[in-house]
Structure 1
């Protein structure tokens, strides 16, 4: 018997440059047989529309790409199917300028370091991210990272995408970067909606903590190790909140579950955690079908901070500016807009979202928020809720009462930050040299700090810095840090307040 070495040949690799098509679905051949959800998938249509908004002009197709997430899914699930699924994907790279195959070849084969540097700069300026296109007939959209839309929308509201991160991409010897958050379509084999949503959430915080980001198959296995509601883990029909918590703990993070209470409460939680870089998983329920679903929220839509509604209060709440969130919805696509509104149900006002589905006859889907699960570092024990009340609101109210010129203008906001990152930008605070030295060299900070930010429309007044390893806000005050907008005449009174509540006044 002679061994047939030809059957184990290495794959062929090539890069193909094409103009971005008017109809992206033409690049996705319709699978044979019965297609349950119609063709092309909604995710393909959404991806095409989003890329058009980004100004995509050129597509570079990398025809052989081994994607870590997909090959893990193949190993666990698809390799045991009768159909011979390939263990590799295509990877599509998107660019905002027009160029052809000849230009690409010239860029790749630049003969000098200078030519290579210019080629890298040319590609980086126009790079719009990538998408791993899986050989799965019904769910082709794999790991996809695209940049967000501009910070200021055409309607004037602010898009804050603090739940994103930078990704390094290697293509034909070039290293390019893109700022975004990974998205992928659920395949209903290894991953359902909750798996895909949690996978996106973990891409942000796991990297900050130096933890390995689990693949969808690893998330599903971890979630179903001790609790199998449906009797089997694969194919995946979805995860319960308890299973999502178990999968979060398996990564090395702590799951913080927050039940939806009211629009006011939920706005504050969403603003606090998303702007801290902790994208929450949102558990939602369709108002039309009553079906449950899970999405990842990595951005907030901000309008004007609303004036106080209670005349007895002397401050404003930054959370009143939240008009909605931006979500990764695996049924739709990345950065989908979801406007927040109050829904009266059984005489109780609950939180609801209006999710926009571009191109649909019924353009908006209405869903109710059930709760949110936030994966946080294990040593982050302080919560946004404990920072806000009573400490944050009482400080803001006291400042509004004590200084008549600030009455009704004082705004408070609560979030977390890395202590090292806070120190890194401290030179912008307008501190004296002795104050800057005190903050940087004489004040111990926890890895993550809680921040109660007190500001007025002209700018920040001061920050109250909290030890995030504590469970209560009041005994956790580390220091009060003067900011550049605070008039010198106000410092003495605030220093007294700082002494009463704990923590040194740094100016």
Structure 2
């Protein structure tokens, strides 16, 4: 028997949104009391940064693969006969009626503006709670200043009544406390990206919870799930064939190493370090699992998946050691299963995070929230391939050595230099060189024809946003090796640095600097086509 697909076309409004996000167990009034409703109403609404939805298309029945996986593993085994089909709710920026949609479906020459305005969809699951299923929504619009960046995304194909659409985003869903909690849901979202990036498996939330296995640090049971601890998160990442970069941070109530500086000052410094770490891995498109303590309460832990960031319009703030592009991050965009996709987390001056959660516990009365709950950064997880062996901190330390090159003798306004440090695919790195052309002719040709490993660390020095020098590291090398592959001096710096390195006094000054490896000098001399005797091979 063939089941027809029923669909409705509705003008977008908050009232209509509450109705279409409901099901037979959760009515519109109950939906309105949920934090997800308030988040989606703002995200899809007509505010300045919002998506400005104008039309809703409701499609049912819909077979959601992510729900079917959990249904087969969990819901189908119960006595209660929950349906296995869902409702899918699509959103468009363009206003249209049912007849316009039918015309656009029937004639490829019709409806160009309609299809171009597609914003994505939300799946509504047939459950008595936690009904927000697989969700694909476009991120916030890009700004003219190109301040918003969403590197953690992938292309998803969408079939709407036979029309093939495409949307670039990262999948989202509300946690289902029967088969998962916030940690499992955050991992599920992250694995949607790593599956394409590293060709690793894409387990369902049920399978992720089952793979976590260990119960060493908590009581309870796997299903229904009360959540995962840090050990279990690492187990789940390892189960898909990846390794974990884990960083854990000090809390305000703990003892701090420097008694001469305030705790707030040391918290701000810790947060600056975290910004560098986040940015370095996000640039590759790696999702970062951010574990925060709401209101700095150890019992209020929450895990979100960071998918993007915003750079401040103001200059990069000065740093005690040296400045990074990452220090300009003033907002993170995170898939927060308790709120919605691209939830905004900001950095406060006291070293804490400003969450999108309203301080008022009554979500229904907290519209256009004026005050937000604070959180402290507890830990970060990066699910990454074992091929990447060199860490961000190792590269950071090498960059610190190169600050001595950028003196007033070689670089005017050396104090304004900002470093861009990030992990990249070598092919993407070369594509960037082709587009930006920081050097030309023979130096550029040499870079483009140099064999590089699949993953490289790039540390690029910028002066007024112009590249002047960069170090390229083999991200796959051994920790005990000399893993710097290239030093590239770009056009604005080539002449002055060539003159400086031609002087024996300047070279000796570099070699005497603490921690400076003579092989760096070999790479510099090679890039600048100088002839200097008695340099070590690389």
Is residue 106 from structure 1 mapped to residue 103 from structure 2 by the alignment? yes
- Determine the structure 2 residue equivalent to 1:186: 175
- Determine the structure 2 residue equivalent to 1:168: 157
SS state at 2:401 partner: helix
Q: Check whether the contact 1:478–1:502 (CA below 8 A) recurs between aligned residues.
A: no
SS state at 1:327 partner: strand
**1:226–1:506 CA distance, 2 compared to 1 (3 A):** farther
- Output the CA distance in 1 between the equivalents of 2:355 and 2:489: 40
Q: 2:379 aligns with which of 371, 385, 390?
A: 371
Count matched residues. Answer: 480
**1:434–1:336 CA distance, 2 compared to 1 (3 A):** same
Computed over aligned residues only, the root mean square deviation of the Cα atoms, in angstroms, reads: 2.9
What's the offset of the Cα at 1:382? 1.3
- Output the CA distance in 1 between the equivalents of 2:480 and 2:54: 51
- Stretch of structure 1 that moved more, 83-92 or 366-375: 83-92
**1:427–1:139 CA distance, 2 compared to 1 (3 A):** same
Post-superposition Cα deviations, 1:441-491, rounded to whole Å, max 9, x if no partner, equal 3x2211111010111114111321110012549711111234455454445
**1:463–1:282 CA distance, 2 compared to 1 (3 A):** same
- Output the CA distance in 2 between the equivalents of 1:473 and 1:423: 27
What's the offset of the Cα at 1:329? 1.1
SS state at 2:415 partner: coil
Q: Check whether the contact 1:340–1:354 (CA below 8 A) recurs between aligned residues.
A: no
- Give ranges in structure 2 of 5+ residues lacking alignment: 251-269, 359-365, 511-517, 529-538
SS state at 1:427 partner: helix
**1:469–1:32 CA distance, 2 compared to 1 (3 A):** closer
- Stretch of structure 1 that moved more, 495-504 or 139-148: 495-504
What's the offset of the Cα at 1:82? 2.5
Q: Check whether the contact 2:345–2:353 (CA below 8 A) recurs between aligned residues.
A: no
- Determine the structure 2 residue equivalent to 1:81: 78
**1:494–1:95 CA distance, 2 compared to 1 (3 A):** farther
Q: 2:246 aligns with which of 257, 262, 273?
A: 257
- Output the CA distance in 2 between the equivalents of 1:474 and 1:137: 57
Q: Check whether the contact 1:475–1:502 (CA below 8 A) recurs between aligned residues.
A: no
**1:176–1:33 CA distance, 2 compared to 1 (3 A):** closer
Is residue 284 from structure 1 mapped to residue 292 from structure 2 by the alignment? yes
**1:245–1:384 CA distance, 2 compared to 1 (3 A):** same
Write out the 4+ residue segments of structure 1 that deviate beyond 6 Å after TM superposition: 494-498
What's the offset of the Cα at 1:139? 1.3
Is residue 47 from structure 1 mapped to residue 40 from structure 2 by the alignment? yes
**1:432–1:177 CA distance, 2 compared to 1 (3 A):** same
Is residue 60 from structure 1 mapped to residue 80 from structure 2 by the alignment? no
Q: 1:302 aligns with which of 311, 317, 322?
A: 311
Is residue 388 from structure 1 mapped to residue 380 from structure 2 by the alignment? no
Q: Check whether the contact 2:70–2:206 (CA below 8 A) recurs between aligned residues.
A: yes
**1:40–1:81 CA distance, 2 compared to 1 (3 A):** farther
- Give ranges in structure 1 of 5+ residues lacking alignment: 1-8, 111-115, 344-349
Q: Check whether the contact 2:103–2:111 (CA below 8 A) recurs between aligned residues.
A: no
What's the offset of the Cα at 1:150? 2.6
**1:494–1:60 CA distance, 2 compared to 1 (3 A):** farther
SS state at 1:138 partner: coil
Q: Check whether the contact 1:305–1:316 (CA below 8 A) recurs between aligned residues.
A: no
What's the offset of the Cα at 1:402? 4.1
Give me the TM-score of the superposition, normalised by structure 2: 0.81
Matches within 5 A, 1:449-468: 449-468=456-475
SS state at 1:86 partner: coil
**1:30–1:75 CA distance, 2 compared to 1 (3 A):** closer
